Amino acid sequence: MSTGSGRAGSGKRDAGSDVVQNGRSRPQAEESSMENGRSSDHADDGRVRIFDTTLRDGEQAPGCTMTLEEKVAVAHQLARLKVDVIEAGFPAASEGDWTAVNQIAREVGGLYGPDICGLARAKERDIDLCWTAVEPAANARIHIVLATSDLHMKHKLGMTRAQVVAAVAAAVSHACSLGGQVEFSAEDAVRTDPQFLYEVLTAALDCGATTLNVPDTVGYSTPDEYGALVSGVRANVPGIERATVSAHCHDDLGLAVANSLAAARAGARQVECTINGIGERAGNAALEEFVMALHTRGQFFGLHTSIETRALARTSRLVSQCTGVPVPPNKAIVGANAFAHEAGIHQDGVLKNRLTYEIMSAETVGWDGVGLVLGKHSGRHALRVKTEALGYELTDDELSRVFAQFKELADRKKLVDEQDIHGLLFPFVAGSLQLQLESKA
């Protein structure tokens, strides 16, 4: 036996990927028209802006709290991932939240970096605190939220429709008077009377909001309905072409990514999502899934994002480490098994041509060192490739002997990991060392 190097099946191209991801967005002043000193990103180049709310909607989920240092580290990584907007927190919620948003605005919100956003209720105090926190960013955004469904207005807010319209107009006008961009979210938009939703969004637009968000706050919608809602907003809010329509979906029915994709097809050009899909209750739309759906099925969607897909796996791991919330092994894109092939037929096919069982490559999402998982279904071919990847070159006879031992082990253990393979090969390594020593003596 001799040692050598070699990596298993490292085809680079994604099977379905036909849209080349473009580079980082330029400063807004270059890519958007400016109105009243605020940018309005309405030119449709098929790019869907990624608004990451891991640090706000994600962090407010049970068990996902992060320290200041962790939030800042995640924000830097999100900038490397090239998200368009980072919602860094809810500054009025606590001093700690304000400090985190402010530090992220100062450290991460450079001219070529992402927009930095903070959440505010439709209250002057919230909006003022939000503005002081995000102001240091080159591109700062105030995100105002007020519920518009009858259910929320009656039972939560105790407000009439007229009071809600007036509050939205006042809040958006006040935020616009401070500076930066203003986004308005009609909380529980999905369960809002559509005519009233159009009225509220029209008021927000007329007062200067440049992003109008229609959240599925409770994860109730389905792709057809949610796409129709976005189309309805685009058709019924006069002047909507001056604004970006945004989607924000929760995953209570497991449809958050599907609904976000339907919204993008219907003309939403901002999608709000989180890394690993963390967020309130069942979570938000998973950023990595939405992005890779557009990337891999570019021809079908005719849309793209500016995300640096090779940073996805690393970002996922960082968020998991910081929140302490593990990523399930079968999680799409970033789960440990997402690119692992164990069945013998699959492994053989992938080793001959990765496109047989892979629609995108592990490299595209930044997985390094993952690949074949060996188990009782794995064949000789897979074992050969794995041992070579670990630096061993076996003769056919040696491979047959190791394979027999491997099968025995795989029957007892569910998965045979790299340590096990090293263990199986140890006698061969020791034997060849012995031979070398003997020949030197």
Residues in touch with ligand KIV (CB under 6 A):
57, 119, 145, 185, 187, 213, 215, 217, 248, 250
Instruction: Choose between 215 and 298: whose C-beta lies nearer to Zn ion.
Output: 215
Which of Zn ion, ligand KIV, none does residue 145 bind to, with CB < 5 to 8 Å depending on kind?
ligand KIV
Q: Which does 221 bind (CB under 5 to 8 A by kind): ligand KIV, Zn ion, none?
A: none
Q: Of the listed pieces 4-12, 18-26, 55-63, 196-204, which binds Zn ion according to CB under 5 A?
A: 55-63
Q: Which does 185 bind (CB under 5 to 8 A by kind): Zn ion, ligand KIV, none?
A: ligand KIV
Among 14, 41, 57, 59, binds Zn ion (CB under 5 A): 57
Q: Rule CB under 5 A: is residue 187 a binding residue for Zn ion?
A: no
Q: 342 is in the binding site of which of Zn ion, ligand KIV, none (Cβ under 5 to 8 A by kind)?
A: none
Cβ distance to ligand KIV smaller for residue 250 or 354: 250
* Per-residue three-class SS string for the chain: CEECCCCCCCCCCCCCCCCCCCCCCCCHHHHCEEECCEEECCCCCCECEEEECHHHHHCCCCCCCCCHHHHHHHHHHHHHHCCCEEEEECCCCCHHHHHHHHHHHHHHCCCCCCEEEEEEECCHHHHHHHHHHHCCCCCEEEEEEEECCHHHHHHHHCCCHHHHHHHHHHHHHHHHHHCCEEEEEEECHHHCCHHHHHHHHHHHHHCCCCEEEEEECCCCCCHHHHHHHHHHHHHHCCCHHHCEEEEEEECCCCCHHHHHHHHHHCCCCEEEEEHHHCCCCCCECEHHHHHHHHHHCHHHHCCECCCCHHHHHHHHHHHHHHHCCCCCCCCCCCCCCCCCECCHHHHHHHHHCHHHCCCCCHHHHCCCCCCECEECCCCHHHHHHHHHHCCEECCHHHHHHHHHHHHHHHHHCCEECHHHHHHHHHHHHHHHHHHHHHHHC
CB of 211 to ligand KIV, least distance (A): 11
> Closest separation between CB of residue 183 and ligand KIV, Å?
9
CB of 55 vs ligand KIV, minimal distance in Å = 13
Point out the residue whose Cβ comes nearest to Zn ion. Answer: 57
Is the Cβ of residue 141 or residue 248 nearer to ligand KIV in the bound state?
A: 248
Partner in contact with 354, chosen from Zn ion, ligand KIV, none, beta carbon below 5 to 8 Å by kind: none
Residue 187 binding: pick among Zn ion, ligand KIV, none (C-beta 5-8 Å cut-off by kind): ligand KIV
Closest to ligand KIV by CB, 257 or 372: 257
